[in-house]
Structure 1
Amino acid sequence: MHFSSARLYFSQEVQQSDERIDLAKAALYIAQEEYPDLNVAEYLNTLDRMADEVEEDLSISRYPLQIIQSINLYLYSNLGFAGNRTNYYDPCNSFLNDVIDRRMGIPITLALVYLEIARRINFPMVGVGMPGHFLIRPDIPDMEIFVDAFNGGEVMFAEDCENQLSQVFQQPVSLRPEFLAPVSNRQILARMLNNLKYIYLKEQNLAKTLAAVERVLLLFPEMILEVRDRGLLYYQLGQYAQAVDNLQTYLDKVPDAEDAVVIRRLLAELGNDWLMTND
């Protein structure tokens, strides 16, 4: 399989243990497939400089809420970072370089900028994969506050999160503990890639949809639904041998899947010419 250098760097970065993955680097390698000339080091330096400027304005006491206030003042008031409400599904909102350059993004990429600044000033924060709206929170025991990077760094409590969930889904939603559980670096990257996957799928850009799925599978090789989707995309792109391989793997793993009949029919349609057995 041919890897672009960006794909290779991404693959190497995410093969490490989760806590060693450099989120900003991995996110920039995602963007580098879109922008082959992207200078990753330049954007990492920009994040370093941003963190240095926040650090300069911090008081000696460094209470968590003071630090959050300082980051908020710097990012949203001084630099003018904001959620892109007018063109939420623009793929640029998912590329870290664009988010830094344009100072706008979606919840997960603005949260990524926030997390990277916090990490550099030794204020540990973690991502919170709330359905429909990504949040972050200080990684401090018994400190149940959340930060909404999309909405100017608004500080929220659990009941605020429940209200926001109800707004997102336009119906009352009860908060479950897993909604506010911290997520891993791999999960953050997969969520970014899934955003791109659905944007490109909607645009019927199958090659870019496939590229997003392939990188999700570098993060989580066992995600069997992604294996199925990769097979279906290969089929639509006319890469029949790879389609058969992936769809057969899917059926081997989940023979009783709801769509098993459809997938079997598709494999039969592809015909014996393409069926590669392991005999």
Structure 2
Amino acid sequence: MNYFSDINFSKSTILESVLFCLKKIKDNFCKKKVFSNLKYKLKEAENYISHEENSINKLNKLLELFYFHWNFREIEGKYNLSDVLWMDKVLKTCQGTAISLGVILLHFANKLKIPLNPVIFPTQFILRADFLNKKTVLINPFNGDILNHNILELWLKGNISSSAVLYKKYLEISQSKDIFKKILNTLKSALMEENKIFLALKVSNVLLKFYPNDPYEIRDRGLIYSQLECYSLAVKDFSYFIHKCPDDPISEIINLKIKSIKKKIHTIH
């Protein structure tokens, strides 16, 4: 049986799923230490919110604990993007990005039965809490601040277009599997940019365990193979992508890559 079949996105938190995969990718991943840290923090969180009776108060106490006592925060100074996506490292340093911090906060909310959910907003990852009184609270995972529609619309106008509009669909709850995929894809891209190609290939292979026929995942693996000078494997992956996505504008670029690689192979021989 494939060890990735052990992951059940309906029963595991996103953090647990990502950590499960990271231990297959990172040679120095310390499973015992990471999960012991999570268990200790969960016990502390349970005690911290134990006197609160309603979900809104429980969420407020969790945010207080997470950002002010545990001091989770946006990473400071110069850093590699992968530094804030290795979730074991984020748990150790308490510094991360919106998505890494958000996924950790979601983990504790899930364990504490607090109704917090992920949202892939166009400009950054955010969190949304829906309560029984139909009150919805939107949260910035960088610092725990409450977001309103005016702020979100400003984000859109400042990052996408001055004519951008805040549509209701932008605030819809995202699926756990989509968040999981986004984290690993971002990590893969970061490792490629940092020239950590073998690690990027390991991340790519993990993603292909979940999405074995995804032409975009196969295309990315082809790019990694080409950087590793595994040219025949790269051509095979690129050809698959072109066959599956002939109308994608990037297919023309990939086709040029295939021709360039074939020239290299011909020159070598």
Pairwise TM-score range, normalised by the shorter structure: 0.7 to 0.9
Task: Map 1:48-197 to 2 at 5 A.
Answer: 48-58=39-49, 60-87=51-78, 89-140=80-131, 142-151=134-143, 153-169=144-160, 171=162, 173-197=164-188
Residues 13 and 107, structure 2, Cα contact 8 Å, conserved in 1: no
Q: Which moved more, 1:74-83 or 1:233-242?
A: 233-242
Q: In 1, Cα distance between the equivalents of 2:192 and 2:27?
A: 22
Residues 204 and 220, structure 2, Cα contact 8 Å, conserved in 1: yes
Residues 67 and 73, structure 2, Cα contact 8 Å, conserved in 1: yes
Q: In 2, Cα distance between the equivalents of 1:92 and 1:40?
A: 18
Residues 166 and 172, structure 1, Cα contact 8 Å, conserved in 2: yes
Q: 1:61 to 1:79 in 2, by over 3 A?
A: closer
- Among 218, 231, 249, the residue aligned to 2:240: 249
Where does structure 2 lack aligned partners over 5 or more consecutive residues?
A: none
Q: In 2, Cα distance between the equivalents of 1:46 and 1:224?
A: 38
SS of alignment partner, residue 195 of structure 2? coil
* CA displacement at 1:101 relative to structure 2: 1.0
* CA displacement at 1:81 relative to structure 2: 1.3
Q: Deviations over 1:85-136 (max 9, x none)?
A: 4346442211121111111111111111111111111113211111231111
* CA displacement at 1:34 relative to structure 2: 5.6
Q: In 1, Cα distance between the equivalents of 2:212 and 2:131?
A: 32
> 1:227 aligns to what?
218
Q: 1:139 to 1:49 in 2, by over 3 A?
A: farther
- Among 5, 12, 37, the residue aligned to 1:12: 5
Q: Deviations over 1:211-251 (max 9, x none)?
A: 33333333333432222221122123122232222122112
Q: Identity over the aligned pairs, expressed in percent?
A: 20
So what's the TM-score if we normalise by structure 1? 0.81
Q: 1:43 to 1:203 in 2, by over 3 A?
A: closer
Q: 1:193 to 1:52 in 2, by over 3 A?
A: same
How many residues matched?
A: 262
Q: Supply the RMSD in Å over aligned alpha carbons.
A: 2.7
Where does structure 1 lack aligned partners over 5 or more consecutive residues?
A: 1-7, 275-279
> 2:31 aligns to what?
40
Q: Deviations over 1:22-71 (max 9, x none)?
A: 42232223433564242324322322322222222225453333112211
Task: Map 1:205-220 to 2 at 5 A.
Answer: 205-220=196-211
